[in-house]
Amino acid sequence: MLEKLHLFPEQASTVAERVDHLFYYLSAVTVIFVILIAGLIINFMVRYRRHADDEHGTVVPSSAALEILWTAVPFGIALIAFFWGASIYAALHRPPDDALEIHVVGKQWMWKLQHLEGQREINTLHVPVNRPVKLMMTSEDVIHSFYVPAFRIKQDVLPGRYTTTWFEATKIGTYHLFCTEYCGTLHSGMIGKVIVMEQAEFQAWLGGTGGTAGVSVATAGERLFAAQGCTSCHRADSTARGPLLAGVFGTDRPLTTGDTVVADERYLRESILNPRAKIVANYEPIMPLYEGLLSEEQVLELITYIKSLGAADTQG
């Protein structure tokens, strides 16, 4: 028996149905206007064609009501599509606070994924069902694009910066993962899969069953922080030559220029790789540049460690 043919990918996330409904609306509007406009063109061609060489058309006076009508109707239809699409866009770019965070690094030609608990994966992503999952993504080389058709999520993955997206899977199963940005000769082979599991099964896998277990990302970041000698400057005593990092994430940081900047992941990344780009007030630009010395995974480890620090008096 032939497998059932699906016109669209399976809906397997909380946002999939909303995206599909918007697509149906846009498709219906397109079909209606194509039929309407093409039908009117053909009708006018037949009814008002010239019958003789000396025949002249009748001058028809303009109608303000008609002008308003055919301006207002398409404008209203476009506004519906705009606000509908904007609401979905906003929802996709505001992950819940309790979302499970996973790091994604794109590289020619593979997806490298790491769970904060330490599990690492290549081209395969294990996630629990009915739980929001936030992806913190960057690229080691060129632009990639993370796309899971069944979840209706697609987000470009860019070198030199972080992008995020999130989803909440609603069905257990295995789903396709693609790169949809041409990234080189083996772009077509940059594929993977997302495996959605029951909560208990996922926790068992996360604990080391069936995966590549290791120390947590925060612990790896703490060790790297110490190995790079960062504790010699970033410490809570009078000899500290760098700002204290405990509790810094998410706060406003005053700069020597008089401006302030929010200490989010993008700021922390820049401060690690190019610390002289934005210098914190009351400190000298003495920190060395780590551009080219740390991998993207190591930068993410350091950021995760800094994010994990509370308002403690000491660090690492």
Number of domains in the chain: 2
Asked if residue 194 has pLDDT above 80, the reply is: yes
Is 290 within a domain?
A: yes
Is 279 within a domain?
A: yes
Shared domain for 34 and 166, answered yes or no, is: yes
Helix axes 265-273, 296-308, angle to 10 degrees: 120
CATH number at residue 277: 1.10.760.10
Asked if residue 311 has pLDDT above 60, the reply is: no
pLDDT digits (tens, 9 = 90+) for 215-226: 888 888 889 888
Q: What is d(CA 258, CA 310) in angstroms, rounded to the nearest whole number?
A: 26
Cα 208–Cα 102–Cα 90 angle in degrees, nearest 5: 150
Shared domain for 166 and 239, answered yes or no, is: no
| 144 or 233, which is more confident | 144
Shared domain for 134 and 277, answered yes or no, is: no
Is 245 within a domain?
A: yes
CA–centroid distance for 270 within its chain: 19
Asked if residue 155 has pLDDT above 80, the reply is: yes
Shared domain for 200 and 301, answered yes or no, is: no
Whether pTM > 0.95 for this model: the answer is no
Question: Structural domain of residue 167, as residue ranges?
Answer: 8-40+71-214
Name the residue among 164, 122, 294 with its Cα closest to residue 220.
294
Residues 6+ apart with CB under 8 A from 191: 123, 176, 177, 178, 179
Name the residue among 154, 191, 192, 150 with its Cα closest to residue 172.
150
Span 64-78, average pLDDT: 92
> Of 33-37, 85-89, 303-307, which gets the smallest average pLDDT?
303-307
CATH number at residue 144: 2.60.40.420
Shared domain for 159 and 196, answered yes or no, is: yes
Shared domain for 209 and 295, answered yes or no, is: no
Confidence of residue 239 (pLDDT cuts 50, 70, 90): low
Averaged confidence pLDDT in the chain: 88
